């Protein structure tokens, strides 16, 4: 089994690939790394970034399967995540990202 830091780096590599103006989900990232039930692991990896000074990983582009900003509490304020997404042109329907318009699905690792 790979070390958690190796898995985290695989997660971060995928997050870096999310195009500006798009989002993906914790579950889609988990599936891309071959862990269908690893959405929580993806959340832990992104939380580790939020607690560090790394700015090279656009964590604000990862949302839950409904397009909700479930990670917003891990940013400087609860509004930063949405502000960053809106600055990139991401649109919302209420509190959720318009997933039909902005969802990006990462390729499955082979």
pLDDT digits (tens, 9 = 90+) for 31-47: 999 987 899 999 999 99
pTM (predicted TM-score): 0.91
Q: Give domain status of residue 109, yes or no.
A: no
What pLDDT does residue 15 have?
97
Q: Kindly tell me if the per-residue pLDDT of 1 is higher than 50.
A: no
Q: Give domain status of residue 78, yes or no.
A: yes
Q: Give domain status of residue 77, yes or no.
A: yes
What pLDDT does residue 3 have?
54
C-alpha Rg value of the chain to the nearest Å:
13
Please tell me the distance from the alpha carbon of residue 14 to that of residue 105, in angstroms, as a whole number.
Answer: 10
Q: Give domain status of residue 55, yes or no.
A: yes
Q: Give domain status of residue 16, yes or no.
A: yes
Please state whether beta strands 96-97 and 92-93 pair in parallel, antiparallel, or not at all (unpaired): antiparallel
Domain count across the chain: 1
Q: Give domain status of residue 107, yes or no.
A: no
Q: Can you list the positions of beta strands (E) in 1-110?
A: 24-25, 62-63, 92-93, 96-97
Identify the domain containing residue 74 by its residue range.
Answer: 4-102
Please tell me the distance from the alpha carbon of residue 90 to that of residue 103, in angstroms, as a whole number.
Answer: 10
Please tell me the distance from the alpha carbon of residue 81 to that of residue 101, in angstroms, as a whole number.
Answer: 18
Q: Is residue 16 annotated as a catalytic residue, yes or no?
A: no
- In the predicted model, what is the mean pLDDT of residues 12-38? 95
Going by C-beta distance under 8 Å and a sequence separation of 6 or more, which residues neighbour residue 64? Answer: 25, 26, 70
Exactly one of 41, 57, 59, 63 is catalytic; which is it? 59
What pLDDT does residue 4 have?
65
Q: Give domain status of residue 21, yes or no.
A: yes
Q: Kindly tell me if the per-residue pLDDT of 98 is higher than 70.
A: yes
Q: Give domain status of residue 12, yes or no.
A: yes
Q: What is the domain-level CATH number for residue 57?
A: 1.10.10.10
């Amino acid at each position: 089994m790979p070390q958690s830091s190796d898995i985290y780096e695989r997660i971060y590599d995928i997050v870096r690939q999310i195009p500006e103006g798009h989002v993906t989900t914790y579950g889609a990232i988990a599936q891309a790394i071959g862990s269908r039930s690893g959405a929580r692991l993806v959340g832990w990896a992104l939380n580790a970034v939020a607690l560090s000074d790394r700015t090279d990983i656009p964590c604000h582009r990862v949302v839950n399967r409904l397009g909700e900003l479930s990670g917003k509490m891990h940013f400087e304020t609860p509004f930063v995540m949405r502000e960053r997404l809106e600055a990139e042109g991401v649109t919302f329907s209420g509190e959720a990202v318009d997933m039909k318009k902005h969802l990006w699905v990462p390729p499955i690792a082979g």
